[in-house]
Structure 1
Amino acid sequence: MLNPALAIRLFDDDELEQLHQATLDILADPGMRIMSPALLEALARRGAKVDYGAQVVHFPAALVEQTIAEMQAELKAGRKPLIFNGVVSSKTPTGPDGTRAILAKFGGACVEVYDFDRWEARQPSRKDLVDLVRLGQALPEVATVGNPVVYLFEDDGAPVDPRLQRVKTAALIARYTTKAGPTEVWNAQELDFLMEIGEIVRGSREAYLANPCFVTAKETIAPLILTQEAAEVLLLLAQRGLPTTVIPMPITGASSPLSLASNVALCNAEVLGTAVAVRVACPQAWVAGGVISGILDMSSGAASFSAPEAILQDLGIAELHERRYGFDFALGTGYTDARYPGPQSVMEKIAKYWASYMTGRYNYPVGLLSGGKCFSAEQALLDIEIAHWLHQFGKGMLVSPVSLMVESIRETGIGGNHLADDYTVANMRRAIWYPALMDRGLAPVEPTQTKGRDMLERARARKEAILAKADYEIDADRARAIEDVVRRAERELR
């Protein structure tokens, strides 16, 4: 039996300590630009050196170490922090019998949807968002449904008011799924409306706080900047008792030096610096971390999130947090470079999902393309197929007197077969995984038949079949309550 949690280890203890010390050195000098007056004042009160004009904080090592120690103590006391974002993978508990369920995510807030009929990416409409939410609701492997695409246009082509996008997006998601997950939040006023929709969906404020939706992580800007907007939202989330997650996106060779270890240390400085800043202003806060790192491809000038170096960087900081601090940390599993579904997208997803699986993270973001810019329903189905393959492989094999089946071999004898064995008939569906999209046929394939046997064509057909039967819609009472929230938002946010 494989043990994914022990399968990948990049650093020895001395290397972990070097990474930690480099993080403290970076936070001391040059420090971080924290563009929030409230956080700057709170940091100054706790002994940090603050340059208010430049909005730069130089963090004392003792303050950082104290914050880490306090968070470690809270974990020991039973606190269970939640990493909440639709494009990263965090530690996933196994079942009572050790099973590892696929808990896929529909999310990403993509500004494009991949139109399979036209073989092109385009801007999404209301119908695109609704169809993707309904698809996520119908797929048993999908655990959370956020906003796979941004609600940019109505079906008649009219643009959605940007001030209302987040609220109207949450309202649509709430209407068509029971699996509501992370969505964007930009400011305090819309957060109130998003929380109200979430409470309608969950049934109460208490239930909503225990199982939140319609909020997500915020990002730092590498190198070493926490913007005012991101800082304000993180502080608001912490004050409301909601998941507070920061996700840096350092690019090796551009915003980070051309060194994988340096990328890890820089990213860690941004995560810990943000955690310290938010906790000194809101002591009950838990700021969880994630990463979507990349490298600069010098041949094209593009950032790559699927390069082997990028995957190593993500694994590196996750290992630092897990082994040195005892914290969970999310990998940027969702971001890949391929711009359309095909061989490159499958190759990249296998690499990133394998890294996620082998470190005990089974909540895979699915459907994302083009560095998180585009969402494809067909790609999501390919991704779920990949996850099933990995999970079946990850079961390994059981060796025991029963599983060796020596008596069955003797009974069948030399030159026989086991097709008609009672055991084969009884266990053929449990012992072997059968793919939904891959072609394992024996018959020769004529050139005219190739298209119909392609995985993408099968994915498209499966998507259409699922959507034809998808019929979930929230009950009328809650639908009316959500519509009331949207109407108030239309008056107050404009």
Structure 2
Amino acid sequence: MSPSQSRPGKSRRRGRGSPRQSARTGPDPTRLRLKNPYPPIEEFSADQIETIHQTSLTILRDKGIKVLNHEARALYREAGAEVDDNDLVVRFDPDLIINQVEHAPERFTLRGRGEQRWFEVGGDSLAFATVGGPPHYSDIEGGRRAGTQATFDDLLRLAQVYDVIHLTAPLVEPQDLPIHLRHLHMTRSVVEITDKPAFIYSRGKSAVADALEILRMGHAMDRDTFEASPHCYTVVNANSPLQLDELMCDGIIDFARAGQVMILTPFTLAGAMAPVTLPGALAQQNAEALAGITLSQIVRPGAPVVYGGFTSNVDMKSGAPAFGTPEYVKAAFASGQLARRYCLPYRSSNVNASNAPDAQSAYESQMSCWGAIMGGCDILLHGAGWLEGGLTASLEKFIIDVEMLQMFAALMQPVEFNEDTLGLSAINEIEPGGHFFGTQHTLARYETAFYTPLVSDWSNFETWQETGGMDATVRANRIARKALAEFEPPQLAEECREAIDDFVIRRTEQGDADLQS
């Protein structure tokens, strides 16, 4: 073997296939703003999508949707909808729906505290968020248990560390805090620990106002400047079938008035809260989404909204929700088609029904992500950490999901194609039966030529066994613990921190948030 054909020395490598054991320091530009270069998969023909659209309009015209919020019913009535205050049902002329939805922007910029945390929503953009909302937290040290402020903060730190996570979510419920004060401490943590766009729960007008005020202080903006651009988002779920609850309507109204992002996502499980057939479930999902989006545009034409799709199926033997199924993937493809029908950004999810960070959680998540990404989603919620059908936020699953999202991010990068990358000089340099390890073409590129894994271990069995024989779950736990030990929060001006602390103290003493679970 000639010197030019020798393998790169071990001193220049981490060892064959060994995963990266520390978090990247400094933003990775290939992960900060993603563009999906692939055309979306279409489950239905254009005529079939139009039929679903017309069926949704028929549902809203003839059956209507129950709206429990008095202010929302008044707004619908003022805009021309037919409102029955006895049964609380609102019915819509199709033109009212169409005209209002047309006001919603096709794309907008969601802004974190620093410009490197700004990203476009819409078009071919793609952004990943963390898990949101589970009551439980799990790790291999302590098992499954109630979420706390400490576990919420730890997951938030991991969300800040990894550039492939673009926006935060309510990672786990801190159940050690009183529910009427929880929003204050969660939002303060978001501002102190991360500089990425924030999530705010729609759990009552006072709680939303408090959270928006804390975020405004963190951005060091006056109210008019803050409300001129979106800096945070909420998720509003229709209470399927065909009902908008009190707090969800408040969320639509409050976020529209504040110019912040509302993701309208019906929770339609085929066979349970929606028809068992996919076209029927999608027609209902679409009707519920259109009703909520219409309300947002009545309140503030041009308010930023995202069309959310979450249709999946249930286990017809037990009634338990199922995720990452073929039906879920088909619904994700079709939901993207519906969002594009209305020129709206599209939200989907990385979900699974497994009770542990095991093979089931991985293959169901992979199926969900392929459905979402190839369905053309702009925002992938629950991107990292979701377990147990959304009832648990898992530390190890968070890191495993980050690995998967980083792989998708690498997949989105364009392939450099030119005379040099065609490698003809390297091919001519090597004799038949030789190898390319020592060529200049390889040596100039080997450190960056391929995706470098975070969790995956590509070593042979003997090396893997000698280094502890750790499976992916254990490796993920160690990676998370190392990242947490090395964590450094983003800068926050001391005057902003003090103003937020004073606000939290004052609102805690007042204790009058109209918060509900």
TM (norm. structure 1) is 0.87
Q: Determine which of 489, 493, 498 is the counterpart of 1:480.
A: 498
Shift of 1:396: 7.3
Q: Is the 8 A contact 1:107 1:182 kept in 2?
A: no
Q: Distance in 1 between matches of 2:278 and 2:467?
A: 42
In the other structure, the counterpart of 1:295 is: 313
Does residue 225 (structure 1) correspond to residue 243 (structure 2)? The answer is yes
Shift of 1:342: 1.2
The AA in structure 1 aligned to 2:390 is G
In the other structure, the counterpart of 2:285 is: 267
Shift of 1:201: 1.1
Q: Is the 8 A contact 1:39 1:281 kept in 2?
A: no
Does residue 190 (structure 1) correspond to residue 207 (structure 2)? The answer is yes
Does residue 139 (structure 1) correspond to residue 162 (structure 2)? The answer is yes
- 1:13-36 residue CA offsets vs partner (Å, 9 max, x unmatched): 211211111111111121100112
Q: Is the 8 A contact 1:168 1:486 kept in 2?
A: yes
Shift of 1:286: 4.6
In the other structure, the counterpart of 1:354 is: 370
CA 1:45–1:195: 2 relative to 1, 3 Å: closer
In the other structure, the counterpart of 2:274 is: 256
In the other structure, the counterpart of 2:259 is: 241
CA 1:443–1:483: 2 relative to 1, 3 Å: same
Q: Larger deviation: 290-299 or 406-415?
A: 406-415
Provide the aligned length of Structure 1 versus Structure 2: 468
The AA in structure 2 aligned to 1:14 is D
Q: Is the 8 A contact 1:170 1:214 kept in 2?
A: no
In the other structure, the counterpart of 1:439 is: 457
Q: Determine which of 426, 437, 446 is the counterpart of 1:419.
A: 437
Superposed, 1:91-490 pairs within 5 Å as 103-118=127-142, 120-153=143-176, 160-205=177-222, 208-209=226-227, 212-213=230-231, 215-283=233-301, 285-322=303-340, 324-331=341-348, 333-361=349-377, 363-364=379-380, 365-395=383-413, 400-444=418-462, 452-472=469-489, 474-490=492-508
Q: Is the 8 A contact 2:110 2:230 kept in 1?
A: no
- 1:354-385 residue CA offsets vs partner (Å, 9 max, x unmatched): 22333444754211111222111211111111
Shift of 1:241: 1.9
Q: Distance in 2 between matches of 1:91 and 1:285?
A: 13
Shift of 1:165: 0.8
In the other structure, the counterpart of 2:69 is: 36
In the other structure, the counterpart of 2:3 is: none
In the other structure, the counterpart of 2:39 is: 6
Shift of 1:166: 1.0
Does residue 66 (structure 1) correspond to residue 84 (structure 2)? The answer is no
Q: Is the 8 A contact 1:114 1:375 kept in 2?
A: yes
Q: Is the 8 A contact 1:194 1:214 kept in 2?
A: no
Q: Distance in 1 between matches of 2:303 and 2:483?
A: 41
DSSP-derived class of the 2:451 partner? coil
CA 1:3–1:463: 2 relative to 1, 3 Å: closer
Q: Distance in 1 between matches of 2:233 and 2:418?
A: 48
Q: Distance in 2 between matches of 1:132 and 1:69?
A: 38
In the other structure, the counterpart of 1:156 is: none
The AA in structure 1 aligned to 2:144 is A
Q: Distance in 1 between matches of 2:109 and 2:85?
A: 32
DSSP-derived class of the 1:417 partner? coil
Q: Is the 8 A contact 2:65 2:244 kept in 1?
A: yes
Q: Is the 8 A contact 2:218 2:496 kept in 1?
A: yes
The AA in structure 2 aligned to 1:135 is L
DSSP-derived class of the 1:249 partner? coil
Shift of 1:399: 5.7
Structure 2 regions of 5+ residues with no counterpart? 1-34, 113-118, 513-517
Structure 1 regions of 5+ residues with no counterpart? 95-99, 154-159
Q: Distance in 2 between matches of 1:387 and 1:10?
A: 24
DSSP-derived class of the 1:142 partner? coil
In the other structure, the counterpart of 1:97 is: none
Q: Is the 8 A contact 2:275 2:281 kept in 1?
A: yes
Shift of 1:68: 3.2
CA 1:283–1:440: 2 relative to 1, 3 Å: closer
Q: Distance in 2 between matches of 1:211 and 1:470?
A: 30
Q: Distance in 2 between matches of 1:445 and 1:11?
A: 49
CA 1:104–1:16: 2 relative to 1, 3 Å: closer
Q: Distance in 2 between matches of 1:93 and 1:450?
A: 46
CA 1:150–1:212: 2 relative to 1, 3 Å: farther
In the other structure, the counterpart of 1:21 is: 54
CA 1:450–1:269: 2 relative to 1, 3 Å: farther
